[in-house]
Structure 1
Amino acid sequence: MASMFRAASVAFFCVLSFAAAVAQPVKPSASTQGFHSRARLIGGGQQGEHWLAGVEITLDPGFKTYWRNPGDSGLPPRFDWSGSENVAGAEIRWPAPKRHVDAAGVAYVYGKQAVIPILVKPKDPAKPVKLVLALDYGVCNDICIPASANLTLDLGGADSERKAIEAALAKVPLPQPLGAQADLSILSIAPQVGDKPAFAVTVRAPAGTKPALFPEGPENWFVSASHPADGDRFTVTVEEKPKDASGSVPLRLTLVAGDKAIETEVSLDGSGPPR
């Protein structure tokens, strides 16, 4: 509960700061300076029926930003592409995050420079594509501060940032079934007895690496993962869930070790045990 209170306090502070930050409209550009950070849209040319693009966030030393699930506290990036032209879809691909522990709890973060790849599908492949993005993201050192950027980019034939986007795509976790026979794998899950619904997750990771597990439940479910003492077993705990939860509930487990990352989908029933 203490971590929940800290997260709520941080979120309240961030909401107040965000209101002040967005009070002044900003003309869109390819790059915007934010709080201890700079955000920009980058392009990487065509790949099949999609255009490659990316949101690049460069952070001052000591600062970090957040993954799609920020962990105990923080703000995940939010993307509004509604002002774009000739865009049928903008698919976000999330590179694997890092686990950061501080007084506010455990956060799932990116540091230094993060590139979040975007696969852009045009409505009409024969016409130009213009990306217009209203981006909200969190920047954190000791506390979380919201930042925003209004960005625009015309996607053309140039692919000057293709290598950066492809490098980020290589860090996106690969889908993998439970029990897969691979050097990085989530092998099994089993219920544990305790005050809260919890289960043990046994993994396999390459020798010499320190695996990290990032659990994600659906909206209004809060789950955490312990850092393993023996290196191959995590405890995932359902910290909070809707009171009326029932039936099958999806749970995504992202496992990262060294430069490899996979994600495995499992199910919970309303009371928490996996199946």
Structure 2
Amino acid sequence: MRLRRLLPLALIAALLVLPAAAAGWQEAPHSRARLIAAGTANADALAGRTHLRTPAQLVGLEIELDPGWKTYWRSPGDGIPPQFEWAGSDNVAAAQVLWPVPTHFRDAAGEYNGYADRVVLPVVVAPKRPGAPVSLDLALDYAVCKDVCIPVSAQLSLRLPDDTPRGRQAVLEALRQVPVRADSRGRCGDLALADARLRFDGPSPRMEITLTHPPGGAPEDLFVEAATGQFMPHPKRQEATAERTVFHLDPSAGGDPRELAGKAMTLTVVAAPQSCEMTATME
């Protein structure tokens, strides 16, 4: 992660937390946030997306942004990832935030991964005592950015079960945008990881990732995260045939690329009809 230009600290302090508004919204600079109920989690909808067992409750963290403003994904690039603290909650064994596939943005300040206009992050909530009410209290830190970045803190709450889970459709739609995890062979159906390696035979080091897919099913985009936390620039498509796509990136932007040899990488492959999250070990 690399940080974009922030507002002066004195101004940030004045903007960080604003009072909550009606309907659960907490207003903030150039954005607002709330928790929305989506009812009982459906095991089929969650398949391949969570390690938590059902029965569980499904909620959404909804963030709306002013036109032209953006917020960040979990691995933002030149940005600030959201932080979630659920310590004030009651009857919560675990709360797992799921991430719809982001968009890659590029501007004068750098490159970053995130969301524009609006995002709903599905959250799977496993209660300690199934069947008993759940009280969610979230301390949320996130950033909104345009020409500058403004860090924002919000205190959000929700009580479950909610007899009128009006957010269910929005959360289920967001859930469909969350990648499923690949199987043990590195496959999501006909989309597969064929090779992932570091190469040092050119003018600069490069990471080369090869994906295979059915004709017409080429991936739309790729995001790479290092388990070491090392910054990974956005991959570029280098080769493409009907059934094979190769992406390259220069890993030296985040440090010594040789330190990545033998290390696990998370690959988020954006593809239709279903995006996929794969684990690759760099050769």
What TM-score do you get using the length of structure 1 for normalisation?
A: 0.82
- Matching residue within 81, 87, 108 for 1:82: 87
- Is 1:233 the counterpart of 2:240? The answer is no
Q: What is the CA deviation profile of residues 92-146 of structure 1, one whole-angstrom value per residue up to 9, with x for unaligned ones?
A: 1111111111122221111221000111111112321111111111111122221
Structure 2 SS opposite 1:223: coil
Q: What runs of 5+ residues in structure 1 fail to find an aligned partner?
A: 268-273
1:43 is paired with a residue whose SS is: strand
Which amino acid is 1:251 matched to?
M
Q: Which amino acid aligns with 1:90?
A: A
The CA RMSD over aligned residues, in Å, is: 3.0
User: In percent, how many aligned pairs have the same letter?
Assistant: 36
Matches within 5 A, 1:179-258: 180=187, 182-193=189-200, 194=202, 197-204=205-212, 207=216, 211-231=220-240, 232-238=245-251, 239-241=253-255, 248-258=262-272
Which amino acid in 2 is paired with 1:250?
A: A
What's 1:125 paired with? 130
- Distance apart, 1:207 and its partner CA: 2.3
Name the aligned partner's letter for residue 189 of structure 1. A
Gaps of at least 5 residues in structure 2 are 42-53
CA distance in 2 between partners of 1:135 and 1:147 (Å): 8
Moved more, 24-33 or 171-180: 24-33
Deviation larger for 180-189 or 108-117: 180-189
Cα 1:28–1:9 shift into 2, 3 Å: same
Aligned residues: 261
> Is this contact kept in 1: 2:134–2:161, CA < 8 A?
yes
1:190 CA drift (Å): 3.1
Change in 2 beyond 3 A, CA 1:242/1:181: closer
Match of 1:43 in 2: 37
Other structure's SS at 2:169 match: helix
Say if 2:37 and 2:166, in contact at 8 Å, map to a contact too: yes
- More displaced 10-residue stretch of structure 1: 121-130 or 76-85: 121-130
